[in-house]
């Protein structure tokens, strides 16, 4: 057998990217009852940030905030 026959295929629906995309879609359906005048961040970005903080296992909000310019937040979580 060659290496090509042993390599696993990418599963479209069983990957982290597919899960994050699904969650982002679901988070967009969450009703936002905040006053529009005071909004800085959309609700979907707030929820995705909470998920990212959980996934990265940051010990504090400050530690997470220090990585706000991290490219993985933009690439993986679309924040």
- Domain assignment present for 1: no
What is the secondary structure of 32-61 as a DSSP string? --S-GGG-SS-HHHHHHHHHHHHHHT-SSH
Check residue 13 and give its pLDDT.
66
Tokens 């936002």 sit on residue: 32
Identify the helix (H) or strand (E) that includes residue 16: helix 16-27
Contact 56, 66 (CB under 8 A): no
Give the model's confidence band at 76: pLDDT under 50 very low, under 70 low, under 90 confident, else very high: confident
**18 located within any domain:** no
Q: Total structural domains in the chain?
A: 1
**C-alpha angle 22-67-39 in degrees, rounded to nearest 5:** 65
Prediction pTM value:
0.73
Range of the domain at 78: 44-79
| 11-53 residue pLDDT tens | 666 788 888 999 999 999 999 888 888 888 899 999 999 999 8
Question: What distance separates the 2 farthest-apart alpha carbons in the chain?
Answer: 63
């Amino acid at each position: 057998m060659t290496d090509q026959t042993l390599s696993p295929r990418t599963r479209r629906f069983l990957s982290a990217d597919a899960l994050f995309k699904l969650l982002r879609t679901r988070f967009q359906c969450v009703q936002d009852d905040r006053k529009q005048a005071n909004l800085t961040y959309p609700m979907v970005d707030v929820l995705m940030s909470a998920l990212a903080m959980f996934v990265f296992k940051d010990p504090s909000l400050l530690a997470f905030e220090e990585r706000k310019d991290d490219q993985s937040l933009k690439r993986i979580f679309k924040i």
